[in-house]
Each structure stands twice: as C-alpha cells, then as structure tokens.
Amino acid sequence: MSEISGNTTRADGTGTPSVATPGPLRADVAVVGAGLTGVVTALLLADGGADVVVLDAGSARTTTTARSTGKLSVLQGTKLARLDRHGSEVVGDYLAAGFAGLGWLRRALEDLNVAVDNRDDLTVATTPDQITDIDAVAAACAHHDLAAQWEEHPPYPAPTYGAVRLPGQAQVDPLHMLSALRSRLRSRGVAVHDRARLKQVRRFRSGVALRTTRGTVLAEHVVLATGVPPGRLGGLFLRLEANRSLLTTWEVPDPDALPTGFADTMSITAGSPVRSLRMAHGLLMVGGEGYAVGREPAPAGRLAALDEWTRAHLPVGPTRHTWAAQDYSSDTGLPLVGPAVPGDDRVLVATGYDKWGLTTGAAAGLALAGRILGEPVPWGRTLEPWARSPEPDARAAVTFGEQTVGWACATTRPTGQRAGARRVSRVCPHLGGVVRWNEQEESWDCPVHGSRFAPDGALLEGPATKGLARR
C-alpha cells in the first residue's frame, strides 16, 4: 500500500497537493471516517478555511451510511419519548440538532442535484402495548410544537392500533447522497484517502499523531467519525452497544394492491417486532429484526422472520437485495458528539446515533466543525459525551456474562475454522472477547463490543484495530 505523505490542499486550492513531500502528512484537522458524519464535518471545515485530510479504512459502499434505510426524519420512531427522561430541554436540543442536520442536508443535496423525496413519517403501534409508546411520542411532539397528528387508521399493510404522523420529512438514496458529498469534498481540494485504517492515536502537546496503515498523519485535531472509536480511547466503547439490523428490497409487481397512501409515507413500528418500511423507485424496502452483535445465535432465523412477515402482509414479488448494517447506541440514549476525553479538544468523536445517524450525523458535523472553527452551535453542549454522567445499565452485566461464557467455551474450542478459510483464534484482539460465527453473514462477531471479522480473520468493523490471529 502506498504511503500517504506531503501536505494537504487548502479549501481555496492554494496548498501543496498531497503527493511527493516526504515525511508525515500534516493538516489542521484529520477526519477519520468518510461516512456521512466525517464528510459533513470535513466539508464544513474546508468551507471555514481549515486544512483538512480525510482517511477511511473502506469505501463509500462499506459505510453504515450507504447501507442505511435512507430516512431523513426528526420523528425517529419513539426516540423523542425515550429521551424525555433527560428533561424537556434535552429533547428540545436533540430536536434542534435534528432540524439543523435535516436542513443542512436538504440544502446541500439540492445544490448537488441529489433527489430527496418528501415523505410523511409514521410511528405505528402494531400491538396494544405500543399504544402507550405512541401516545408518549404524540405528547413529546405536541410539547415541542411539531405538527404531528395522531391517526387511528394509518396507511399501513398490517393491523395497527394507531400511529403518529409527522409531515415534511424525507428519504434519499444514501449511497448516492454520500458519493455526491464525497465528490463535493474532493472538488474543494480535500484529499480523501480510502483504505487508510487508523491504528493508533497519540496525543502530544500541540496536537495528535495518527498511525495508519498508509503512514503517519500529524494534526491539531482529529475527528473520529468511525462509528465506535477505534481502540480504547476515552473508554467510550464501554458506553456503546453495537446493534445490527437486516434489510431487504422487494419488487412490487402490483403497486395498486398496496394500501392507499402507503407509498407517500415512511414508517417504523413503535416496538418489537421492529418493521421499518419505505418505497423507492417501485421497490419496497423492509428493515428490522435488529440484534446485539455477536449475541444472536441464529441471525438467519431473523431474516426468515422478516421475509415471512413481508410476504404475509405485502403484495411482493421476488427480493432484489438483502444486507445487514451496524450502528451504536449509547448508555444515555443520546449521541456522543464532542471530546473523547473531557476537556481535551484534540480528539473529537461522534457516535451513538442509535440507527438515526443521517439527520443526527449531519448535525454532529455541524457541531464538531463549529467547535473547531470557534463557532459553537447552541445545542452542541447537550450532545457532548461527558455532558451528563455515564449511566451504568443492564448491558454492562450482559457484556460481562458474554465474556465469561465465551471464555468457558474457548478453553475447549480456542480456534475456529470455516470451509475454505484459514484457522483463526477466536479471541478478539480488542479486549479478549470470544467471537461467535455468524452463519448468515459468514463473519466472526464479537459479543463484547461488536467488532466483526471475515472468515480468514481480517478485520471488518468495530473498535478492534487488527484482525483475529491466524493459527
């Protein structure tokens, strides 16, 4: 792999191109992760005159952004009701962040000629016990002056107990959106280095030194827009849970057989089983059956359940694509956007979007760029990782239990091997969790903090910074 070296190009195009100069690459800000969060942050920093470099371990297609459902909404299922325990001011700030992110994306995508389809967003009760949840959503919306309506008979393909509808939200092809924003970044002269994995962050007095698989980068600030931060930095991985969800697109041979008005909405159920639906270009997208990474004994069974539900309720033909994607939820339920370590702006993070990181990821970009450029956003403090005390919850006990059970099994079966692949250690190089084979995605998944590995042990995603040892 070629080394990244030389200086970056300034937003006004006056810097030295990123080739030929020996020694580490230098920049004002290194943004690690070119999903939506990283790209928005880098664009805003470049617009503000900062010298920025972007690094990514993969490509646009492998981001969670590209593999999301593509809903741009501030309603976000029952999120507003679940955040209510933090108080009205916090919910107000979270909403302000969502509106800021959504507004920024709408303007940027219009400028880039990326189609954004307006849709009403529905949170639907499909069981009697979910009625309380949507009542709480409706109350939160009313309290914050959102134009949401309670609807007794929503346009939904399965039996319901009512829904909350918020007009004026949107949907987008997320890969198209990300590719267009990346192109805009490049046209501003910002170098985006793909296949450059961050291995280590070292802080020194005036900044940070980043060791990557393609060389060293020196910067005043680093923004870790990588989902969970790599390694152990700030201990934030202890406050996050990694969750995967399944998605399938279906052909709909007879769209007239869909409930009237269904195609003009996007929807998600208020509780389990989660079903997230939307139509685009004549295809139906169905998501759901989420599970904590590495803790699901039969992911293929979950996909079968999702398919069975879809066939039972919707007039679908064959499937087009099936995939899974991973996102992180935090102990407080709020995104974690700000310093990884309290009071230290050299290393900034953005994570914990709880599967709502399109609007919130854009908001995180606004918050982080504003912070670095000295123009903080009014709602930024609420999203900071250390704005409120970490909340110990039942997940810590589950994590400990997983590690104990894993080790008990590992003493009898310390290595794993799959057809055609090398024998690998089953011990996760992050912090020693014992990985479990995921037969549906053909990967080794760590139940402790959610790192995932290919059959041959190569690192796919998560906080680990190297693959499983090969035996």
Q: Which residues bind ligand FES (CB under 6 A)?
A: 428, 430-433, 446, 448-451, 462-464
What is the footprint of ligand FAD within residues 310-339 (CB under 6 A)? Answer: 325-327
Question: What residue type is 205 in one-letter code?
Answer: R
Give the nearer residue to ligand FES in terms of CB position, either 197 or 430.
430
Cα–Cα distance measured from residue 309 to residue 276, given in angstroms and rounded to the nearest whole number: 12
Nearest distance in Å: CB 228, ligand FES: 8
Site residues (CB under 6 A) for ligand FAD, limited to 168-197: 197
Using the contact rule CB under 6 A, the part of the chain among 63-71, 105-113, 148-156, 308-316 near ligand FAD is 63-71
Site string for ligand FAD, 69-88 (x = CB under 6 A): xxx-----------------
**What number of other Cβ atoms are within 10 A of residue 308's Cβ?**
10
- What φ, ψ does residue 246 adopt, rounded to 5°? -105, 145
Among 5, 18, 245, 438, binds ligand FAD (CB under 6 A): 245
Q: Which is nearer to ligand FAD, 200 or 417 (CB)?
A: 200
Beta strands in 125-224 (DSSP E): 149-151, 163-172, 191-193, 198-204, 207-212, 215-224
Q: Are strands 25-32 and 52-55 parallel, antiparallel or unpaired?
A: parallel
Q: Say which entry of ligand FAD, ligand FES, none residue 69 contacts (CB below 5 to 8 A, set by partner kind).
A: ligand FAD
Strands 452-453, 149-151: pairing kind? unpaired
443 binds, among ligand FES, ligand FAD, none (CB under 5 to 8 A by kind): none
Query: What is the rounded CA–CA span in Å between residue 141 and residue 152?
Result: 17
- Which amino acid, one-letter code, is at 214? R
Choose the one of ligand FES, ligand FAD, none that binds residue 355, judging by a C-beta under 5 to 8 angstroms depending on kind.
Answer: ligand FAD
Query: How buried is residue 253: exposed, middle or buried, by Cβ count under 10 Å (0-12/13-18/19+)?
Result: exposed
Sign of dihedral through CA atoms 402, 85, 363, 146?
Answer: positive
Buried b (16+ CB within 10 A) or exposed e, 278-301: bbbeebbbbbbbbbbbbbbeebee
CA dihedral 103, 105, 111, 113 (to 10 degrees): -130
Min CB(34)–ligand FES separation in Å:
22
The nearest distance, CB 362 to ligand FAD, in angstroms, is 9
Which partner in ligand FAD, ligand FES, none is near 462 (CB below 5 to 8 A by kind)?
ligand FES
From candidates 140, 208, 225, 314, binder to ligand FAD by CB under 6 A: 225
Task: Tell me how far, at minimum, the Cβ of 397 lies from ligand FES, in Å.
Answer: 16
The answer to whether the beta carbons of residues 88 and 141 sit under 8 Å apart is no
As measured in angstroms, the least distance from the Cβ of 9 to ligand FES is 36
Q: Among 5, 18, 41, 65, indicate the residue that binds ligand FAD (CB under 6 A).
A: 65
Spatial CB neighbours of 290, under 8 Å, sequence gap ≥ 6: 243, 244, 245, 246, 274, 355
Q: Does 234 bind ligand FAD (CB under 6 A)?
A: no
Q: Quick one: what does residue 433 bind among ligand FES, ligand FAD, none, with the CB cut-off 5 to 8 Å set by partner type?
A: ligand FES
| Site of interaction with ligand FAD (CB under 6 A) | 32-38, 55-58, 62-65, 68-71, 197-198, 225-227, 230, 245, 247, 287, 325-327, 353, 355-359, 361
